[in-house]
Amino acid sequence: MRLHLKRLALAATLGFAMASGIMAGGAMAQDAPTFRLTIKDHKFEPPTLTVPAGKRFILIVRNADDTPAEFESTGLGTEKVISGGREATIRVGPLKPGDYTFVDEYHQDTAKGVLTAAGE
């Protein structure tokens, strides 16, 4: 059992080492353009948004409601929980030109929108 605990500790250490290495190498796309969305009364504001195609960008989604939301879009490959009164930073793209729908999974009836990637 002690041996196994040691192995566990080793695995954990390795994991941390890998994670810190990744952090050090991170922070790409710092200069990416930023777009903002707000969720209010379980609706997106604005409900449609145009972003540049073929480019990585940052989407900041602010949840102005008191209850949690889950920003989800299969097209964008995003699934992110946003607590009430908080905002989420989502890194998206590069996208092919086209329309990408998104919803608040917790309030799909009202909270839905479309992101349009245009130009190159």
Question: Would you list the DSSP string of the chain?
Answer: -HHHHHHHHHHHHHHHHHHHHHHHH----TT--EEEEEEETTEEESSEEEEETTS-EEEEEEE-SSS-EEEEETTTTEEEEE-TT-EEEEEE-PPPSEEEEEEEGGGTTT-EEEEEEE--
> Nearest approach, Cβ of 45 to another protein (angstroms)?
19
15 binds another protein, rule: CB under 8 A: yes
Binds another protein by CB under 8 A, chosen from 55, 75, 112, 116: 75
91 binds another protein (CB under 8 A): yes
Report if residue 13 touches another protein, rule: CB under 8 A: no
Residue 89 interacts with another protein (CB under 8 A): yes or no: yes
Closest contact distance (angstroms) between CB of 53 and another protein is 14
Among the listed residues 43, 55, 62, 80, the single contact to another protein using CB under 8 A:
80
Distance CA 38, CA 87 (A): 9
List residues binding another protein (CB under 8 A).
1, 4, 7, 11, 15, 19, 22-23, 25-29, 56, 60, 66-70, 74-75, 77-78, 80-91, 105-107
